[in-house]
Structure 1
Amino acid sequence: MRSAERFPRLPAQAAYLAGIAGAGALLSGAVDRAYLAPQELIGVSYLPVYLVLAIALAAAAAYYVLRHYRSLRGFIDAYTVAVTFIAALAVCGYSYLCPSAGVALAVSAASAAGVAIGLRRASTRPASYTVAGLLVGVLLAMFIPYSWTPYVLLAFAAYDAFAVTRGPLRSIPQDMDLLMVDLGDVRVGLGDVAFYTFAASSLELFRGPAWALAGVLAIAAGAAATLLLLRRVDRPVPGLTIPLVICALLFLI
């Protein structure tokens, strides 16, 4: 998270971030009620490993390009649209809500088109990034086995703490600000949106609505604590660390 000049109401910002996670949990619940259970079909296979490797390679490629080129608005916009399309295709294609490839493609194309249109206007850009992050979070929840989830959350919480304080995210190129959602005086990374959604969606899929609600409240509390810390130190702080640690504890209970 990064701070700007003004300080609007903290509860509204924390509620917005928690609301994104809640929307992802609702989408996951709808998919689950359509009798979609990829992990029951594939078991604890190597698919999550491939998924993590694909995300890591995509992130590394994006980071390399961001560091070596000056103007990247077009690249980032195209990258976000591609991520939206792939995530929506995966969510719909494996769901009985969209049993045919044609319907899944149509839904995915509509999602990607909506994000692409939104990215063309500064006023709707945060909403477009929110949709992309939400779909990625739901996709992660669908394919990462439940037994892995708390450790994945803890690993990314630790990495985010390192990356923002000591690692590559201490100094972000100006163009990479495009991958951040503006909430008044605060900028939240698109990855934060995806992992908030991932945590709440996993709780919905594997432990039910009551636990998903607990996860949403945990994210709200963690985001509020992070925002308070941001205002005290007046420098970038990791947006994932506190919320994800709290959610990981919910999984481990």
Structure 2
Amino acid sequence: MSKTGFLDEIFVSYQGEGVFAGVRQVFIRFSLCNLKCSYCDTAAAGEIKGSFKAFGENFSNPVKALEVIKIVKRFKGLVHSVSLTGGEPLVQREFAVLLAAGLKRAGFKVYLETNGTLLQNLKSILPYTDVVAMDIKLPSSSGQKGLWEKHSKFIKAAEKKAFVKLVISEDTKPAEIIRAVKMAKRAIVILQPEYKSSIKKVVKLINSSRVFELGADVRLIPQIHRFIGIK
């Protein structure tokens, strides 16, 4: 199992998305991603860099999981959880599993942010995660196609720990929203306006879809970190 991996940055901030919006977290941003979504706001993390920053210090890539845990330990008792984000953490499966397991042993809750496409990799890390924040990539807003079956299998595996996020743009098709909510009907579903779109237009589109009539736990929550000007 790979004991090293490639990171983009480590920092402390407040979760800006989804059910846990507002909680304080340590964010470990992984390099590399298996998708290229049109609305991605962390595209730079898709590339491998020779080093990464953590709290003002430079560290070399690849980095050992044990070194990352040592860096994060200073925040034990001071944060809600540690977010494994990206990029896509599950691309570096072995490193992500070692890191998640080590963080759990150190007494942290582990919050996994994922694009919901790498099922086998999820199964490896799931025992060491507390929350799975899973995206369903709607074709009309993300530019990604052919992922419905992967998303369906992924959410069934993660169901007890997962909530689902749908990024909604002005171009999103209401039928895709309905399909995604039905797929994730046993999970909380967050409708998240795409940050470059008009929120008023997105809300109008969401209302026209009549998604709130499906009986699922659906919530409209924008990215709050953008409103308060933090990372």
TM, length-normalised to structure 1: 0.26
TM-score (norm: length of structure 2): 0.28
Q: Which has a greater percent of helix?
A: 1
Higher strand share: 2
